Protein backbone atom coordinates (compact mmCIF):
# COMPACT_ATOMS: atom_id res chain seq x y z
CA UNK A 1 0.00 0.00 0.00
CA UNK A 2 1.35 3.42 -0.97
CA UNK A 3 -0.51 6.31 0.62
CA UNK A 4 -0.48 10.03 -0.09
CA UNK A 5 -1.40 11.69 3.20
CA UNK A 6 -2.66 15.26 3.23
CA UNK A 7 -3.10 17.81 5.98
CA UNK A 8 -6.48 19.43 6.47
CA UNK A 9 -7.24 22.26 8.88
CA UNK A 10 -10.96 22.22 8.15
CA UNK A 11 -13.63 20.42 6.13
CA UNK A 12 -13.16 22.51 2.99
CA UNK A 13 -9.46 21.65 2.87
CA UNK A 14 -10.15 18.00 3.58
CA UNK A 15 -12.56 17.76 0.65
CA UNK A 16 -10.10 19.56 -1.63
CA UNK A 17 -7.30 17.21 -0.53
CA UNK A 18 -9.36 14.14 -1.37
CA UNK A 19 -10.58 15.62 -4.66
CA UNK A 20 -7.00 16.34 -5.71
CA UNK A 21 -5.82 12.81 -4.99
CA UNK A 22 -4.99 12.28 -1.32
CA UNK A 23 -5.52 8.73 -0.07
CA UNK A 24 -5.88 9.85 3.52
CA UNK A 25 -6.08 13.05 5.54
CA UNK A 26 -4.84 13.87 9.00
CA UNK A 27 -6.88 16.33 10.97
CA UNK A 28 -7.24 17.67 14.50
CA UNK A 29 -10.17 17.86 16.85
CA UNK A 30 -10.70 20.68 19.31
CA UNK A 31 -8.58 19.07 22.01
CA UNK A 32 -5.34 17.15 22.21
CA UNK A 33 -4.07 18.30 18.80
CA UNK A 34 -0.77 20.01 18.07
CA UNK A 35 -2.16 22.77 15.88
CA UNK A 36 -4.26 24.64 18.38
CA UNK A 37 -4.51 27.60 16.01
CA UNK A 38 -5.76 25.66 13.02
CA UNK A 39 -9.52 25.90 12.66
CA UNK A 40 -9.80 22.19 13.45
CA UNK A 41 -12.85 19.94 13.57
CA UNK A 42 -15.80 19.69 15.95
CA UNK A 43 -17.04 16.17 16.66
CA UNK A 44 -19.84 16.55 14.12
CA UNK A 45 -17.32 17.78 11.53
CA UNK A 46 -15.06 14.83 12.32
CA UNK A 47 -18.03 12.57 11.60
CA UNK A 48 -18.74 14.33 8.31
CA UNK A 49 -15.05 14.09 7.39
CA UNK A 50 -15.03 10.34 8.03
CA UNK A 51 -18.23 9.78 6.05
CA UNK A 52 -16.90 11.83 3.14
CA UNK A 53 -13.60 9.92 3.15
CA UNK A 54 -15.07 6.47 3.58
CA UNK A 55 -17.53 7.03 0.75
CA UNK A 56 -14.47 7.56 -1.46
CA UNK A 57 -12.67 4.54 0.03
CA UNK A 58 -10.20 6.83 1.80
CA UNK A 59 -9.02 7.21 5.40
CA UNK A 60 -8.99 9.81 8.16
CA UNK A 61 -6.43 10.04 10.97
CA UNK A 62 -6.92 12.30 13.94
CA UNK A 63 -4.01 13.88 15.76
CA UNK A 64 -4.03 13.31 19.49
CA UNK A 65 -0.39 14.24 19.68
CA UNK A 66 0.08 16.84 22.38
CA UNK A 67 2.32 16.14 25.33
CA UNK A 68 -0.37 15.75 27.96
CA UNK A 69 -0.24 17.50 31.31
CA UNK A 70 -2.15 16.06 34.26
CA UNK A 71 -5.31 18.02 33.62
CA UNK A 72 -5.28 17.10 29.91
CA UNK A 73 -6.00 13.52 30.98
CA UNK A 74 -9.54 14.56 31.88
CA UNK A 75 -11.91 13.54 29.13
CA UNK A 76 -9.22 11.77 27.09
CA UNK A 77 -10.77 8.30 27.36
CA UNK A 78 -14.21 9.62 26.38
CA UNK A 79 -12.70 11.51 23.46
CA UNK A 80 -10.90 8.42 22.18
CA UNK A 81 -14.09 6.39 22.49
CA UNK A 82 -15.95 9.10 20.60
CA UNK A 83 -13.33 9.03 17.82
CA UNK A 84 -13.72 5.27 17.55
CA UNK A 85 -17.50 5.52 17.37
CA UNK A 86 -17.25 8.23 14.70
CA UNK A 87 -15.22 5.81 12.58
CA UNK A 88 -11.83 7.49 12.64
CA UNK A 89 -9.29 5.12 11.09
CA UNK A 90 -6.37 5.90 13.39
CA UNK A 91 -5.07 8.38 15.92
CA UNK A 92 -1.61 9.92 15.73
CA UNK A 93 -0.09 9.99 19.20
CA UNK A 94 3.13 10.94 20.89
CA UNK A 95 2.31 10.32 24.53
CA UNK A 96 2.47 6.72 25.73
CA UNK A 97 -0.48 7.48 28.03
CA UNK A 98 -2.74 7.65 24.98
CA UNK A 99 -1.62 4.27 23.64
CA UNK A 100 -2.01 2.72 27.06
CA UNK A 101 -5.50 4.16 27.41
CA UNK A 102 -6.51 2.73 24.02
CA UNK A 103 -5.09 -0.68 24.92
CA UNK A 104 -6.34 -0.89 28.50
CA UNK A 105 -9.87 0.08 27.49
CA UNK A 106 -9.98 -1.97 24.27
CA UNK A 107 -10.86 1.11 22.25
CA UNK A 108 -10.99 0.05 18.58
CA UNK A 109 -8.51 2.59 17.24
CA UNK A 110 -5.21 2.13 15.45
CA UNK A 111 -2.36 4.14 17.01
CA UNK A 112 0.30 5.75 14.85
CA UNK A 113 3.37 7.13 16.61
CA UNK A 114 3.73 10.84 15.85
CA UNK A 115 6.90 12.40 14.53
CA UNK A 116 6.89 14.19 17.90
CA UNK A 117 8.43 11.00 19.29
CA UNK A 118 11.46 11.60 17.03
CA UNK A 119 11.91 7.95 16.09
CA UNK A 120 15.25 7.45 14.33
CA UNK A 121 16.15 3.81 14.88
CA UNK A 122 14.70 0.30 14.61
CA UNK A 123 14.94 -0.41 18.34
CA UNK A 124 12.72 2.55 19.19
CA UNK A 125 10.25 1.58 16.49
CA UNK A 126 10.23 -1.97 17.84
CA UNK A 127 9.35 -0.71 21.32
CA UNK A 128 6.38 1.18 19.92
CA UNK A 129 5.31 -1.88 17.95
CA UNK A 130 5.34 -3.94 21.15
CA UNK A 131 3.17 -1.44 22.99
CA UNK A 132 0.60 -1.56 20.22
CA UNK A 133 1.44 0.98 17.52
CA UNK A 134 0.69 -0.10 13.95
CA UNK A 135 2.62 2.69 12.24
CA UNK A 136 5.47 5.05 13.05
CA UNK A 137 5.82 8.52 11.60
CA UNK A 138 9.59 8.81 11.47
CA UNK A 139 11.64 11.79 12.56
CA UNK A 140 12.36 14.17 9.71
CA UNK A 141 16.02 13.68 10.61
CA UNK A 142 15.97 10.03 9.50
CA UNK A 143 18.33 9.23 6.64
CA UNK A 144 17.75 6.70 3.89
CA UNK A 145 19.88 4.17 5.80
CA UNK A 146 17.90 4.75 9.01
CA UNK A 147 14.56 4.31 7.23
CA UNK A 148 15.61 1.16 5.41
CA UNK A 149 16.98 -0.37 8.60
CA UNK A 150 13.79 0.38 10.51
CA UNK A 151 11.65 -1.18 7.78
CA UNK A 152 13.87 -4.25 7.43
CA UNK A 153 13.97 -4.91 11.17
CA UNK A 154 10.42 -4.07 12.24
CA UNK A 155 8.17 -4.58 9.22
CA UNK A 156 6.09 -1.70 10.58
CA UNK A 157 4.04 0.60 8.41
CA UNK A 158 6.29 3.63 7.94
CA UNK A 159 5.13 7.16 7.30
CA UNK A 160 7.64 9.80 6.19
CA UNK A 161 7.27 13.49 5.52
CA UNK A 162 7.55 14.28 1.82
CA UNK A 163 6.91 18.00 1.66
CA UNK A 164 6.62 21.04 3.86
CA UNK A 165 8.11 23.09 6.62
CA UNK A 166 10.80 21.69 8.88
CA UNK A 167 11.37 22.34 12.55
CA UNK A 168 14.95 23.34 13.35
CA UNK A 169 14.79 21.08 16.35
CA UNK A 170 13.94 17.43 16.56
CA UNK A 171 10.16 17.54 16.86
CA UNK A 172 9.15 17.38 20.49
CA UNK A 173 12.56 18.50 21.70
CA UNK A 174 11.96 22.23 21.58
CA UNK A 175 10.37 24.55 24.10
CA UNK A 176 11.79 27.83 22.80
CA UNK A 177 8.21 28.98 22.36
CA UNK A 178 7.36 28.16 25.99
CA UNK A 179 10.36 30.12 27.22
CA UNK A 180 10.06 33.18 24.97
CA UNK A 181 6.28 33.54 24.76
CA UNK A 182 4.77 31.13 27.32
CA UNK A 183 3.03 29.43 24.39
CA UNK A 184 3.38 25.69 24.75
CA UNK A 185 5.09 24.20 21.69
CA UNK A 186 4.28 20.64 22.66
CA UNK A 187 0.60 21.35 23.22
CA UNK A 188 -0.07 23.13 19.95
CA UNK A 189 0.91 26.71 20.70
CA UNK A 190 4.30 26.92 18.95
CA UNK A 191 5.24 30.54 18.17
CA UNK A 192 8.04 29.44 15.77
CA UNK A 193 10.89 31.11 17.62
CA UNK A 194 13.31 29.21 15.37
CA UNK A 195 12.26 31.60 12.59
CA UNK A 196 13.30 34.65 14.60
CA UNK A 197 16.74 36.25 14.45
CA UNK A 198 19.23 36.56 17.30
CA UNK A 199 22.34 38.64 17.86
CA UNK A 200 25.76 37.28 18.69
CA UNK A 201 28.09 39.55 20.65
CA UNK A 202 30.79 41.15 18.45
CA UNK A 203 29.29 39.73 15.26
CA UNK A 204 27.68 41.94 12.63
CA UNK A 205 25.45 39.31 11.10
CA UNK A 206 22.31 38.07 12.87
CA UNK A 207 22.00 34.43 13.81
CA UNK A 208 19.11 32.49 12.34
CA UNK A 209 18.37 28.81 12.37
CA UNK A 210 15.44 28.63 9.93
CA UNK A 211 15.59 25.53 7.75
CA UNK A 212 14.49 25.50 4.14
CA UNK A 213 11.42 23.37 3.47
CA UNK A 214 11.51 19.64 2.88
CA UNK A 215 10.94 18.31 -0.63
CA UNK A 216 11.30 14.62 -1.38
CA UNK A 217 9.86 14.57 -4.92
CA UNK A 218 12.98 13.17 -6.53
CA UNK A 219 13.32 10.42 -3.92
CA UNK A 220 9.73 9.14 -3.77
CA UNK A 221 10.52 6.17 -6.02
CA UNK A 222 13.53 5.24 -3.91
CA UNK A 223 11.51 5.63 -0.71
CA UNK A 224 8.86 3.28 -2.08
CA UNK A 225 11.62 0.81 -2.91
CA UNK A 226 12.96 0.79 0.65
CA UNK A 227 9.51 0.29 2.13
CA UNK A 228 7.97 3.65 2.99
CA UNK A 229 4.19 3.24 3.00
CA UNK A 230 2.85 6.72 3.50
CA UNK A 231 4.02 10.08 2.17
CA UNK A 232 2.97 12.89 4.41
CA UNK A 233 2.46 16.49 3.38
CA UNK A 234 3.03 18.94 6.22
CA UNK A 235 0.70 21.85 6.83
CA UNK A 236 -2.65 21.76 8.60
CA UNK A 237 -2.57 25.56 8.60
CA UNK A 238 -2.03 25.73 4.82
CA UNK A 239 -4.52 27.10 2.28
CA UNK A 240 -6.75 25.16 -0.11
CA UNK A 241 -4.53 26.33 -2.98
CA UNK A 242 -1.39 24.99 -1.32
CA UNK A 243 -3.06 21.67 -0.54
CA UNK A 244 -4.49 21.31 -4.06
CA UNK A 245 -1.17 22.17 -5.70
CA UNK A 246 1.07 19.97 -3.59
CA UNK A 247 -1.31 17.01 -3.49
CA UNK A 248 -1.91 17.08 -7.24
CA UNK A 249 1.84 17.16 -7.97
CA UNK A 250 2.64 14.28 -5.62
CA UNK A 251 -0.39 12.34 -6.92
CA UNK A 252 1.03 12.62 -10.44
CA UNK A 253 4.50 11.56 -9.30
CA UNK A 254 3.24 8.52 -7.39
CA UNK A 255 0.91 7.47 -10.21
CA UNK A 256 3.69 7.77 -12.76
CA UNK A 257 5.98 5.69 -10.56
CA UNK A 258 3.28 3.03 -10.41
CA UNK A 259 2.98 3.16 -14.21
CA UNK A 260 6.79 3.09 -14.60
CA UNK A 261 6.79 6.27 -16.66
CA UNK A 262 8.11 8.95 -14.30
CA UNK A 263 10.66 11.13 -16.09
CA UNK A 264 13.23 13.53 -14.57
CA UNK A 265 11.48 16.37 -16.38
CA UNK A 266 8.25 15.56 -14.51
CA UNK A 267 10.02 16.09 -11.20
CA UNK A 268 11.71 19.31 -12.29
CA UNK A 269 8.38 20.74 -13.41
CA UNK A 270 6.57 19.61 -10.24
CA UNK A 271 9.27 21.09 -8.04
CA UNK A 272 9.06 24.47 -9.71
CA UNK A 273 5.29 24.48 -9.29
CA UNK A 274 5.51 23.42 -5.64
CA UNK A 275 8.33 25.78 -4.65
CA UNK A 276 6.47 28.74 -6.09
CA UNK A 277 3.33 27.75 -4.25
CA UNK A 278 5.16 27.33 -0.94
CA UNK A 279 6.99 30.65 -1.37
CA UNK A 280 10.15 29.05 0.02
CA UNK A 281 12.99 26.94 -1.27
CA UNK A 282 12.90 23.24 -0.53
CA UNK A 283 15.43 20.40 -0.39
CA UNK A 284 15.57 16.72 0.63
CA UNK A 285 17.26 17.70 3.92
CA UNK A 286 18.42 14.58 5.87
CA UNK A 287 17.46 11.78 3.46
CA UNK A 288 20.44 11.86 1.14
CA UNK A 289 23.09 13.69 3.18
CA UNK A 290 23.76 15.52 6.39
CA UNK A 291 22.24 18.98 5.81
CA UNK A 292 24.64 21.86 6.17
CA UNK A 293 24.98 25.47 5.28
CA UNK A 294 22.86 25.26 2.13
CA UNK A 295 19.82 23.74 3.80
CA UNK A 296 18.89 26.73 5.95
CA UNK A 297 18.28 30.47 5.81
CA UNK A 298 20.30 33.10 7.61
CA UNK A 299 17.93 36.03 7.89
CA UNK A 300 14.96 34.50 9.68
CA UNK A 301 11.85 34.16 7.54
CA UNK A 302 12.64 34.26 3.84
CA UNK A 303 9.40 34.01 1.95
CA UNK A 304 8.51 35.56 -1.37
CA UNK A 305 4.77 35.81 -1.61
CA UNK A 306 2.89 35.85 -4.90
CA UNK A 307 -0.69 36.17 -6.06
CA UNK A 308 -0.73 33.17 -8.40
CA UNK A 309 -3.98 31.70 -7.08
CA UNK A 310 -6.61 33.54 -9.12
CA UNK A 311 -9.83 31.67 -8.48
CA UNK A 312 -11.73 28.49 -7.77
CA UNK A 313 -14.46 27.02 -9.96
CA UNK A 314 -17.85 26.90 -8.24
CA UNK A 315 -19.90 25.71 -11.19
CA UNK A 316 -19.41 24.80 -14.81
CA UNK A 317 -21.47 24.01 -17.91
CA UNK A 318 -20.65 23.44 -21.58
CA UNK A 319 -20.06 27.13 -22.30
CA UNK A 320 -18.84 28.89 -19.19
CA UNK A 321 -17.59 28.54 -15.66
CA UNK A 322 -18.54 30.35 -12.49
CA UNK A 323 -15.34 31.32 -10.72
CA UNK A 324 -14.82 32.78 -7.25
CA UNK A 325 -11.95 35.26 -7.47
CA UNK A 326 -9.05 34.83 -5.05
CA UNK A 327 -6.56 37.29 -6.55
CA UNK A 328 -6.68 40.12 -9.08
CA UNK A 329 -6.85 39.07 -12.75
CA UNK A 330 -7.68 40.90 -15.96
CA UNK A 331 -8.30 40.53 -19.67
CA UNK A 332 -5.13 39.46 -21.42
CA UNK A 333 -3.75 37.39 -18.54
CA UNK A 334 -2.42 33.97 -19.47
CA UNK A 335 -3.64 31.52 -16.87
CA UNK A 336 -3.73 27.81 -16.22
CA UNK A 337 -6.52 25.58 -14.93
CA UNK A 338 -5.64 22.56 -12.84
CA UNK A 339 -7.98 20.24 -11.02
CA UNK A 340 -9.03 16.75 -10.07
CA UNK A 341 -8.67 14.14 -12.80
CA UNK A 342 -7.56 16.56 -15.50
CA UNK A 343 -4.37 17.67 -17.19
CA UNK A 344 -3.61 21.34 -16.56
CA UNK A 345 -4.32 23.52 -19.58
CA UNK A 346 -3.51 27.07 -20.60
CA UNK A 347 -6.12 29.74 -21.24
CA UNK A 348 -5.85 33.39 -22.25
CA UNK A 349 -8.54 35.54 -20.69
CA UNK A 350 -10.40 37.44 -23.39
CA UNK A 351 -13.66 38.22 -21.61
CA UNK A 352 -14.73 38.48 -17.98
CA UNK A 353 -18.32 38.80 -16.80
CA UNK A 354 -19.48 39.79 -13.34
CA UNK A 355 -22.20 37.90 -11.50
CA UNK A 356 -24.86 39.85 -13.46
CA UNK A 357 -23.24 38.74 -16.71
CA UNK A 358 -21.99 42.26 -17.45
CA UNK A 359 -18.64 42.70 -19.21
CA UNK A 360 -15.79 43.79 -16.96
CA UNK A 361 -12.07 44.22 -17.67
CA UNK A 362 -10.68 43.33 -14.28
CA UNK A 363 -11.70 41.04 -11.42
CA UNK A 364 -10.38 43.11 -8.59
CA UNK A 365 -12.59 42.37 -5.56
CA UNK A 366 -11.73 39.51 -3.21
CA UNK A 367 -14.02 36.53 -3.65
CA UNK A 368 -16.13 38.29 -6.29
CA UNK A 369 -18.07 35.98 -8.56
CA UNK A 370 -17.12 36.02 -12.22
CA UNK A 371 -18.00 34.09 -15.35
CA UNK A 372 -15.42 33.05 -17.94
CA UNK A 373 -16.50 31.68 -21.31
CA UNK A 374 -15.21 29.35 -24.03
CA UNK A 375 -13.97 26.82 -21.52
CA UNK A 376 -14.62 23.09 -21.30
CA UNK A 377 -16.80 21.71 -18.51
CA UNK A 378 -14.71 21.14 -15.41
CA UNK A 379 -15.19 19.89 -11.87
CA UNK A 380 -16.22 22.08 -9.00
CA UNK A 381 -13.02 22.85 -7.07
CA UNK A 382 -10.84 23.22 -10.17
CA UNK A 383 -8.43 26.12 -9.65
CA UNK A 384 -7.15 28.89 -11.90
CA UNK A 385 -3.59 30.10 -11.39
CA UNK A 386 -1.30 32.50 -13.16
CA UNK A 387 0.69 30.57 -15.75
CA UNK A 388 4.33 30.79 -14.75
CA UNK A 389 5.84 27.51 -15.91
CA UNK A 390 5.24 25.74 -19.21
CA UNK A 391 5.54 21.96 -19.11
CA UNK A 392 6.86 21.98 -22.66
CA UNK A 393 9.94 23.88 -21.51
CA UNK A 394 10.91 20.87 -19.41
CA UNK A 395 10.73 18.25 -22.15
Partner 1 sequence: MTKNKNLILVTNDTLVEKINKECQESSNTFLFPIENFCVGIPKTFKLEEITEESLIFINRLLDKDGIENFKVLLKNLPKNIKGIVFDDIGILNILLETKSTLTKILFLNHANCNYESINAFLEYVDSVVISTDITTEETKEILKRAKKPLVVYAFGHVAIMYSRRTLLSNYNKHFKTNIDNEITLKEGISKEEVKAIENIYGTVIYTNNPFNNLKLRKEDNILYNLINSVYLHDEEVISIINSESDMSDTYPYKYLSEEETIYRIKEEKI
* Shortest separation between residue 286's beta carbon and partner 1, angstroms: 7
Counting residues that bind partner 1 (by CB under 8 A) gives: 81
280: Cβ contacts below 8 Å, ≥ 6 apart: 165, 212, 213, 302, 303, 304
Range 280-339, binding partner 1 (CB under 8 A): 286, 291-293, 295-296, 298
* Shortest separation between residue 7's beta carbon and partner 1, angstroms: 18
| x/- map, 29-48, partner 1, by CB under 8 A | -xx----xx-xx-xx-----
Q: Please give the full DSSP string across 226-276, using - where no structure is assigned.
A: TT--EEEEP-TT--HHHHHHHHHHHHHHHHHHHTT---HHHHHHHHHHHHH
The residue from 25, 142, 335, 372 that contacts partner 1 (CB under 8 A) is 142
> How far lies 10's CA from each of 34, 84, 318, 325, in Å?
14, 20, 31, 20
* Shortest separation between residue 366's beta carbon and partner 1, angstroms: 23
Q: How many other C-beta atoms lie within 10 A of the C-beta of residue 290?
A: 9
By CB under 8 A, tell whether 183 contacts partner 1: yes
> How far lies 89's CA from each of 8, 27, 102, 297, in Å?
15, 11, 13, 38
The residue from 47, 48, 87, 121 that contacts partner 1 (CB under 8 A) is 121
The residue from 12, 51, 56, 69 that contacts partner 1 (CB under 8 A) is 69
Part of the chain binding partner 1 (CB under 8 A), chosen from 15-23, 111-119, 251-259, 324-332: 111-119
Q: Which is nearer to partner 1, 203 or 343 (CB)?
A: 203
By CB under 8 A, tell whether 1 contacts partner 1: no
Q: Please give the full DSSP string across 139-170, using - where no structure is assigned.
A: -TT--HHHHHHHHHHH--EEEEEEEE---SSP
By CB under 8 A, tell whether 8 contacts partner 1: no
Q: Which is nearer to partner 1, 299 or 314 (CB)?
A: 299
By CB under 8 A, tell whether 194 contacts partner 1: yes
By CB under 8 A, tell whether 279 contacts partner 1: no
By CB under 8 A, tell whether 268 contacts partner 1: no
The Cβ-side half-sphere exposure at 155, using a 13 Å CA radius, reads 1
Range 207-236, binding partner 1 (CB under 8 A): 207, 209, 211
25: Cβ contacts below 8 Å, ≥ 6 apart: 5, 6, 7, 8, 14, 17, 18, 49, 53, 58, 59, 60, 61
Q: Which is nearer to partner 1, 172 or 339 (CB)?
A: 172
Cα(280)–Cα(150) distance, integer angstroms: 31
* Shortest separation between residue 50's beta carbon and partner 1, angstroms: 16
Q: Which is nearer to partner 1, 119 or 270 (CB)?
A: 119
* Shortest separation between residue 163's beta carbon and partner 1, angstroms: 19
By CB under 8 A, tell whether 180 contacts partner 1: yes
By CB under 8 A, tell whether 188 contacts partner 1: yes
* Shortest separation between residue 255's beta carbon and partner 1, angstroms: 31
Hey, which bits of 16-155 come out as E strands? 24-28, 59-64, 90-93, 110-113, 135-137
By CB under 8 A, tell whether 97 contacts partner 1: yes
> How far lies 228's CA from each of 146, 151, 364, in Å?
12, 8, 45
By CB under 8 A, tell whether 65 contacts partner 1: no
Cα(134)–Cα(113) distance, integer angstroms: 8
CA pseudo-torsion sign 73, 74, 80, 86 = negative
Burial of 188 (C-beta count, 10 Å sphere; 0-12/13-18/19+): buried
By CB under 8 A, tell whether 10 contacts partner 1: no
Part of the chain binding partner 1 (CB under 8 A), chosen from 84-92, 93-101, 262-270, 370-378: 93-101
Part of the chain binding partner 1 (CB under 8 A), chosen from 114-122, 303-311, 334-342, 358-366: 114-122
Amino acid sequence: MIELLAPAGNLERLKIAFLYGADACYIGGYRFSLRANAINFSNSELKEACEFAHNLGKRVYVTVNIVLHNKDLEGLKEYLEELASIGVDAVIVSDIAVIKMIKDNNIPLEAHISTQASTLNAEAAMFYKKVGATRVVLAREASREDIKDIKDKTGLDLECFAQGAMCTSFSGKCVLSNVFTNRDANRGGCAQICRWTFDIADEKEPFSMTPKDLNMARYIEDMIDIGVNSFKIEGRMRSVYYIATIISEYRKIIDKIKMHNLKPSDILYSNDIMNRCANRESTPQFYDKFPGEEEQYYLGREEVSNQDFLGIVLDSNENEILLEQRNYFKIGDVVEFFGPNMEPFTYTITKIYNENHENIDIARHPRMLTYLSDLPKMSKGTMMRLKVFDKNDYL
